[in-house]
Amino acid sequence: MKFALPIFDVSSLNLEINSQKILDSLSLKIFAGEYDAIIGPNGGGKTTLIRLLLGLEQPSSGTIKIFGKSISDFKEWHKIGYVPQRASHVDAAFPATVLDVVKMGRTAKRGFFARYSAQDALCVEDAMRKMDVLDIKDKMIGTLSGGQRQRVMIARALASKPEVIILDEPNTGVDVASQQRFYELLRKLNRDEKLTIIFITHDIGVIADDIKRLFTVNRKLLTCNNPKEAISCEDMSRLYGVDAHLLSNHHHHH
């Protein structure tokens, strides 16, 4: 059965840049259905870890397996949705409607000159409905609010029918009301669609009792398997030089 095979299986991952250790012998496994948060100080390597998982950067040593395959042999990238940090800072003049952007989620499945199929249209509409952006589908992406744009980016990721979604600080530049709605949507996707969700966040206070596991990345990795008994995790994060509550009120823009 599928649950036996981790989606991500990372072992002894090292990354050195200019002889500085960015990540130091990280190992982790993420299984289907998880709802995990990654926290850590800025410059601690949490975005880098995600970029390694997505094949956007190469490790100095160590192995990454995705759905049991070595990352270099892995081809089914449509199973993995990615919502980058800068998603909410799109060039205001970019000539794309919400529908155009969500359709991008189906692009990799089409080939040279192939048109979008009826099934593509269904997946796109389904994704837009789930993220509640169907009624703004003809609006230009540059005119949306931060919260709307964030949901469009997730709709695009959902359009490829992924099994896991990775989000990098999804709430940068999004107001508090939208944030709560946003976490409800994520939780719903995880619960109802069995979608595995991994996200980097500063808002540990908001999601502490919701998440399945908490990863703290600060060059090394500490895994907290039961964040509901959060006291030890809070201690752990403080041990790592992260004051999660302080960070939640203090967004960093890049």
Site of interaction with other proteins (CB under 8 A): 54-56, 75-78, 80, 82, 84, 93-97, 100-101, 103-105, 107-108, 110, 112-113, 140, 142, 156, 160
CB of 166 to other proteins, least distance (A): 9
Measure the CA dihedral 212/218/220/226, to 10°: -20
The token pair at 109 is: 């499945």
For 105, residues 6+ apart whose C-beta sits below 8 A from its C-beta are 81, 123, 124, 127, 155, 156, 157, 158, 159, 160
Nearer CB in complex with other proteins: 52/247:
52
Nearer CB in complex with other proteins: 44/84:
84
CB of 69 to other proteins, least distance (A): 14
Nearer CB in complex with other proteins: 32/104:
104
Nearer CB in complex with other proteins: 92/239:
92
Q: Are 53 and 8 in contact (CB under 8 A)?
A: yes
Instruction: State residue 167 phi and psi, 5-degree precision.
Output: -120, 130
CB of 114 to other proteins, least distance (A): 8
What are the C-alpha distances in Å from 158 to residues 51, 79, 230, 245? 19, 10, 31, 30
> What is the longest distance spanned by two Cα atoms in the chain?
55
- Comparing C-alpha atoms, which of 225, 187, 249, 221 is closest to residue 40? 221
Nearer CB in complex with other proteins: 98/186:
98
Instruction: State residue 208 phi and psi, 5-degree precision.
Output: -55, -40
CB of 173 to other proteins, least distance (A): 16
CB of 96 to other proteins, least distance (A): 6
Nearer CB in complex with other proteins: 40/81:
81
CB of 188 to other proteins, least distance (A): 23
